[in-house]
Amino acid sequence: MKKEDCIFCKIVQGELPSRTIYEDGDFRVILDLKPVTRGHALILAREHADNLYELPEETAGKAMILARRLAGIFREKLHCDGLNLMQNNGEVAGQTVTHFHLHMIPRYEGDGQEINLVPGEATQEELEAVRKQITE
């Protein structure tokens, strides 16, 4: 279902312009307006879902299959050296557009970008406490 005032719903429906590189019944894939690298693309779900929590499981599976296919095309056509998939959920995680999207970020030697998440420390006890919290 389309959500009023959702910019990605409007893009998916063709009501707002985009540089579309792929379309099918479930997704529209567009170039990001502010690419972090050359070829930065967004896989947009056609049906509105705020985030991964709301996305139907079947669509989530299809999104990853599509990412796998596009990854090969990016490597062949853009000659990228690697690829980051990124998917943000919630403001705290950096989500700025509340409509499910999966970032495909081709990476190139010397592209100057970096992933800024800083590895932390955890004791074996802490790791075990987390494992229990998730699995019990």
Would you please indicate which residues are annotated as catalytic (active-site) residues?
A: 101
- Closest CB to ligand AMP among residues 20, 59: 20
Q: Which amino acid is at 120?
A: G
* Residue 88 near ligand AMP by CB under 6 A: yes
* Residue 118 near ligand AMP by CB under 6 A: no
Nearest to 104 by CA among 19, 37, 22: 37
Please provide residue 98's backbone torsions phi and psi, each rounded to the nearest 5 degrees: -85, 65
- Closest approach, Cβ 48 to ligand AMP, in A, equals 14
- Closest CB to Zn ion among residues 9, 21: 9
Q: Which residues contact 54 (CB under 8 A, 6 or more apart)?
A: 100
Distance CA 9, CA 7 (A): 5
Contact string 86-125 vs Zn ion (x = CB under 5 A) = -------------x--------------------------
Nearest to 32 by CA among 103, 82, 99, 90: 103
- Closest approach, Cβ 59 to ligand AMP, in A, equals 17
48 binds, among ligand AMP, Zn ion, none (CB under 5 to 8 A by kind): Zn ion
Contact string 24-53 vs ligand AMP (x = CB under 6 A) = ------x-xxx-------x-----------
Q: Give the sheet arrangement for strand 41-45, strand by strand.
A: 20-23, 27-31, 41-45, 101-107, 82-86
**What does the binding site for ligand AMP look like in residue numbers (CB under 6 A)?**
7, 18, 30, 32-34, 42, 88, 94-97
